[in-house]
Amino acid sequence: MSTPELEIMALRERLDVWSLAYHRDDNPLASDAEYDTALRRLRDLELLHPEYFSASSPTQRVGDTPLGEFVSVGHKLPMLSLDNAFSGDDLAAFEERNAAKLGVHSLTFCCEPKLDGVAMSLLYEDGNLVRAATRGDGSSGEDITHNARTIDTVPLRLRVLSCPKVLEVRGEVVIPRGAFATLNAQQAQRGETVFQNPRNAAAGSLRQLNSRVTATRPLVFMAYAVGYTEEAELPATHSHTLAYLRDAGFKTSGLIECVEGWAAAEHYVERILVQRDAMDVDIDGVVVKVDDFAQQQRLGFVARAPRWAIARKFPAQEEVTRLLGIDYQVGRTGAITPVARLKPVFVGGVTVSNATLHNVDEMARLDIRIGDEVIVRRAGDVIPQIVRSLVDRRVGNPETVIFPSHCPDCSTPLTRDLDEAAIRCDNRTGCPAQQKAALEHFVSRKALDIDGVGEKLLHQLFDTGLVRSVADLYELTVEQVAALDRMGLKSAQKAIDAIDKSKVTDLHRFLYALGIREVGEATARALAAHFGSLDAIASASQNALEEVSDVGPVVATHIRRYFSLESNRRLIDRLLHVGMDWVDTQESSHANAVLAGQTWVVTGKLESMSRDAAGALVRRLGGQTVGSVSKNTDVLLAGPGAGSKLSKAQSLGLKIIDESEFAKIVSEAGV
Ligand code: IVH
C-alpha cells in the first residue's frame, strides 16, 4: 500500500475508535481538538487522493444535496408493533401463555427500556450501510439513508470479523433530554419551530429532505433487534445478539438485563420506573422479550405483533383535559402565580386538578383560553404543567385571558420589575395574602418548625386579628387560642408550648424564617456560617455579602434592602425582645474542615442518625449540603431505600458512600 493510502486507513480507523468511545461508550479517548485535527487531515488527504474514496469514511457524515422527495421502500421483514401490558398480572399472563405453548415452566426474558423515539431500520450489505428506512406502516417506510448517514451512532461499516452478507439492524432514534433543551433554545433564538418533546424533534429531524439540517440535530440511534439477514452467524439468544451488535459498533441501552420469570421482570420494571426521571432519554415502558431465538421462532406472531415480546407500559406522563378556570395566587413575596384549574385527570400516577402556569410570559406563550382542551404533563415529583392547548379543538372564539391589573387579595395595583418574569403586589405589609403566607413560612419545617401551628390555625389567628405579624405569635395566651373556633384547651396549650419552644433556634433557621427575598435555606446556612451573627449580616456591605458562596449581586441587594427597612428592624427587635435566641458562632473554624469545597447530598434512611443530623455533620466539616443530585455534587451519602437520587448519582458516576464510610470520615476528623 502507498503511504497516503496507509495514512488514510489509519486515520479512518483511529477516528472510528474515538467516535465509538465518545458516542457509544460515553468515554472519550481524545479531546475535541484532537478529533477535529485528525478529521481535517483525513479530509485533506481524501481530496488529494480521490482514488481512495470510501462511503464509510468518517468524513462522509456531513449531509448531501437535498432530495426532491422521499422514496418508499418495502421492508423484507415487517416492522412489527408490540402488545401492551399494564401490570405485573399482565406479565404473568404473558409468561403463562408462552410457557404453556412451549411446554416449559418458566421463561428467560430479556428486559430493556422501551425508548420513546422513532423506529429506524438499517440495512448492511457486506458490512456497509446501504439503506436506512422509517417504520412507515410496518410493511414499507421511507428511504432516509441520506439522513441516517449523518448520525454519529449509525455505523457506516460494521466492525465484525466475519461480515454477514446481509444484516438488518433495527432500533430507535432518540434525542437525549439535555441535547433537546439546547436544541429548542437554539430554535427559539433563530425564530424557528420549538419542538413539543424529544420524540417529535427526532421525527422531524429524520424526515428532512435536506440532510445537512439532520446533521446538525443531536440524534442518537440505539439498536434493539436484528431484522432480515443472509449468511449471518448470529448468537442463539436476543441478549447475546445485542452484545454482538454492540461489538459491531452500535449503541445499545446500558440497562439491558436477563431475568427468570415474570416476577423478576416486574421487579426490573419497578427499578427502571424509579430511575425514569433521572434518565437522559425518554422511555415509556419496558420491553420484555423471550430471550431464546428458538423459542421465539416457535411462538411466532399474531396479527402485527410477536407473541414473544410485550411492552410493559408506564403510567402516561401526559394526558388531555379541560381548562376550567385560572386562579391567581399571591405568594409570600407578593409574586402572583397563575394556577390553572383543570377537570381532574389521572396522569403520572396521580389525579391532577391544578397545574401551575408559572407567570404572565408562560401564559402568553401558551395562549390558552378558558374551556380549552389542554395537554397536562406530570413527570415524577415535578409539579404538573400545561404543555399546550389543543387549539384545533377550540369551539368558537373564547376571549384571551387577561392577567389581573390589581392584587386579587388587597386590590393594590400590580407592578412588574424590569427584567423580571414575576408580576407583584408591592403591598408587603398590608396585603393579607402575603401576611398569611409570611406566617406560614415562619412556622414551616425548615424555618422555625413550629409543630402544632398549622395553616388553618394561622388563618384563624390572622382573621380574628390576634396575629398580624410573626412577633404577635409570641404574645399569644392559651386562653386566646382556646377561645378560637374548634380549639380545645389541650390543643391550645400544645400550640403555645410549640411556639415557646421555637424561641431557642439556630441563626440560619431564624434568617430563613424572616423570608428575605431569594434567601432560601441553603443561602441562609451559608450566610450564618460565614458571618456567625445576625448583626454581622445586617451590617454587611454589598461586597462582603457577595463573598458568600451562595450569594450573587441580586441576592445581596435583597438582603441589604431587607435590613435597611425600619419596619423589618423593628420586627427583629421585637422577636429578640420576646426571647428568640440562638448561639452565635464566629467565623467557622477551619481546623477540621476536611470536607471544605465539597457538595454533598444525603438520601435514604440512615441507621444511627437522621438525615438532618448527617447534613449538619457534613457542614460542620466544612462541606455544603444540597437537596438534589447534579453534576456539581461531589458525594452522595446513601442509606437503605435511596431511590432516584441514588440512580441519578450512579448515572453521573458520582462518589457514593454508605453510613459506615461516613462514620469513618467523621471520626477521623475528630468530631
Ligand atoms: S422490539 C418485534 N425493543 O416500540 C419487536 N421495540 O410498540 C419489535 N421500541 O415501534 C420491537 N424500544 O420502535 C423493541 N427496546 C425496544 C424498544 C422498542 C422502543 C419501539 C419500537 C416499536 C415500538 C413497538
C-alpha span between 433 and 471 (Å, rounded): 17
CA of 114 to the centre of ligand 1 (A): 6
CA of 223 to the centre of ligand 1 (A): 10
- pLDDT the model gives residue 317: 85
- pLDDT the model gives residue 419: 76
- pLDDT the model gives residue 614: 85
Most ligand 1 atoms within 8 A of CB, residue of 80, 115, 238 to mutate: 115
Output the CA–CA distances (angstroms, integers) from residue 216 to 54, 145, 153, 210, in the order listed. 22, 16, 14, 11
C-alpha span between 132 and 2 (Å, rounded): 34
Nearest alpha carbon to residue 269 among 223, 310, 313, 239: 313
CA of 623 to the centre of ligand 1 (A): 45
CA of 292 to the centre of ligand 1 (A): 17
- pLDDT the model gives residue 11: 96
Which helix H or strand E contains 8, and what residues bound it? helix 3-19
Closest protein CA for atom 5 of ligand 1: 80
> Is 114 part of the annotated catalytic residue set?
yes
- pLDDT the model gives residue 585: 65
Q: Do β-strands 635-638 and 599-603 pair in parallel, antiparallel, or remain unpaired?
A: parallel
- pLDDT the model gives residue 588: 45
The answer to whether 211 and 64 have CB atoms below 8 angstroms apart is yes
- Walking along the chain (671 residues) 10 residues at a time, the average pLDDT comes out as 88 95 91 94 95 94 86 93 94 97 96 97 97 94 96 96 95 96 92 88 94 96 97 96 97 96 96 90 95 97 92 90 96 94 91 93 92 89 87 90 94 88 90 95 95 93 95 95 92 94 94 95 90 88 85 94 94 92 63 80 86 78 79 90 88 91 88 73
Helix intervals (H) in 20-63 = 32-48
- pLDDT the model gives residue 587: 41
Most ligand 1 atoms within 8 A of CB, residue of 122, 287, 310, 313 to mutate: 287
Ordered by where they begin, the domains of the chain are: 4-61 (1.10.287.610), 83-313 (3.30.470.30), 318-393 (2.40.50.140), 432-502 (1.10.150.20), 506-583 (1.10.150.20), 599-668 (3.40.50.10190)
- pLDDT the model gives residue 383: 87
Q: Nearest 5°: phi and psi at 109?
A: -110, 145
- pLDDT the model gives residue 590: 55
pLDDT in tens, 210-242: 999 999 999 999 999 999 999 999 999 999 999
Closest protein CA for atom 21 of ligand 1: 119
- Residues of 488-521 as b/e, b for ≥16 C-beta within 10 angstroms? eeeebebbbebbeebeebbbbbbbbbbbbbebeb
588 Cβ contact partners less than 8 Å away, ≥ 6 residues apart: 529, 530, 532, 622
